[in-house]
């Protein structure tokens, strides 16, 4: 059972910050999940929301702001919005990364950033944009990719097989034993997100998933 820290370890430190990644490292996660977006000047940053309004005192969409604009904004506690490169540096040599591409068009810049940073740990590239994962597969035949889904499709594994993904990440309240078994039969690794309550973690673990994504990754038994 893999333990994946959601947005770093968002239950313990402001989400998607270097502090959150460092906290996840101290909790000995297998992977940190990080949300990736691009600024107006095409710099990759780690940030979840499309707009900065909820988490900072600023306003506007990440895609309409430059990296310099974002650098002037801070999260509660004075934490900066990190670049992807800074996030990879914080994880290097310690934990794997699960990079969620939040918008289309990030495959090439994400690959370039991974290469430039020399990140040597395990990488899983995740997205709700399954055609982006297929595009990535064509560029990198061996990369691990994870197709995200909230729901239970008629054909359980079809969406992930079409994307040539190695993993799926399913919203835990739409998972069930037969669904997990069908995904496994199709050769897919199954992660559940975002599971925080101990009783839910226990229930989802009982379905036989391969990994759990949690804001509180220390609550997941190995
Ligand atoms: O890892 C999957 C999960 O992070 C997707 O949902 O909204 O937390 O990015 P969200
Ligand atoms: Ca995410």
Residue among 35, 124, 168 whose CB has most ligand 1 atoms within 8 A, to mutate: 35
The pLDDT confidence band at residue 148, using thresholds 50, 70 and 90, is very high
Query: Ligand 1 atom closest to Cα of 194?
Result: 3
pLDDT for residue 7 is more than 90? yes
User: Per-residue pLDDT averaged across 142-162, rounded?
Assistant: 98
Closest CA to 100 of 11, 31, 176: 31
Does residue 160 contact residue 183 with C-beta atoms inside 8 Å?
A: yes
Kindly list the protein residues whose Cβ atom lies closer than 6 A to any atom of ligand 1. Answer: 6, 33, 35, 48, 100, 148, 169, 193-194, 213
pLDDT for res 222? 79
Residue 95 Cα to ligand 1 middle (Å)? 18
pTM of structure: 0.98
What confidence tens digit (pLDDT) does each residue in 175-202 have? 999 999 999 999 999 999 999 999 999 9
Protein residue with its CA nearest to atom 7 in ligand 1: 48
Helix (H) or strand (E) holding 161: helix 158-162
Local confidence band at 158 (pLDDT 50, 70, 90 cut-offs): very high
pLDDT category at 38 given cuts 50, 70, 90 is very high
Residue 171 has pLDDT above 90, yes or no: yes
The secondary element (H helix, E strand) that includes residue 112 is helix 107-117
Tokens of 182: 């069908």
CA of 148 to the centre of ligand 2 (A): 9
């Amino acid at each position: 059972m893999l333990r994946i820290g959601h947005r770093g370890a968002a239950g313990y430190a402001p989400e998607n910050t270097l502090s959150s990644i460092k906290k996840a490292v101290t909790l000995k996660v297998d992977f940190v999940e990080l949300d990736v977006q691009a600024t107006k000047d095409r710099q990759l940053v780690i940030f979840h929301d499309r707009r900065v309004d909820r988490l900072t005192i600023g306003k506007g969409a990440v895609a309409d702001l430059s990296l310099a604009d974002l650098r002037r904004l801070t999260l509660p506690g004075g934490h900066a919005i990190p670049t992807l490169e800074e996030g990879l540096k914080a994880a290097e040599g310690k934990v794997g990364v699960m990079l969620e591409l939040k918008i289309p068009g990030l495959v090439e810049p994400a690959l370039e950033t991974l290469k430039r940073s020399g990140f040597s740990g395990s990488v899983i590239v995740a997205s709700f944009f399954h055609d982006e994962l297929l595009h990535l597969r064509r560029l990198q035949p061996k990369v691990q990719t994870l197709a995200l889904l909230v729901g239970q499709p008629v054909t359980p594994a079809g969406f992930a097989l079409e994307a040539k993904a190695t993993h799926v990440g399913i919203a835990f309240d739409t998972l069930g034993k037969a669904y997990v078994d069908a995904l496994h039969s199709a050769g897919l690794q199954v992660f559940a997100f975002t599971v925080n309550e101990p009783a839910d973690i226990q229930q989802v673990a009982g379905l036989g998933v391969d990994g759990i994504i949690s804001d509180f990754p220390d609550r997941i038994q190995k």
